[in-house]
Amino acid sequence: MLLINQAFYIRAYQIFNPRNCMYISRSNGMCNKDVLPQRDTLINSNTIVGLVKDKYSQDDLKMITKLLDINQASPVH
């Protein structure tokens, strides 16, 4: 998944952080099995990745690398 910018990263961290999205139960601190990804979701996600993985051009790959480098250099607040 392409990281758009620092603001996108921060928002995704807020939403997908296991503590924030209730993967960890607030009542007992254990894994909340009700919110774990289902088998079909995992299969579909892997299928989508496989369909587009070889479609990136060299320019696309350079842009992705550049964006990742920029985002790694930026501190997370």
pLDDT digits (tens, 9 = 90+) for 23-55: 777 778 888 877 777 778 878 888 887 787 788
Model's pTM, two decimal places? 0.36
What pLDDT, on the 0 to 100 scale, is given for residue 62? 92
Rounded CA-CA distance 19/39 in Å is 22
Q: Above 80 in pLDDT, residue 69?
A: yes
Q: Looking at the predicted structure, is the pLDDT value of residue 75 above 70?
A: no
Name the CA dihedral angle for 24, 45, 11, 17, rounded to a multiple of 10 degrees: 20
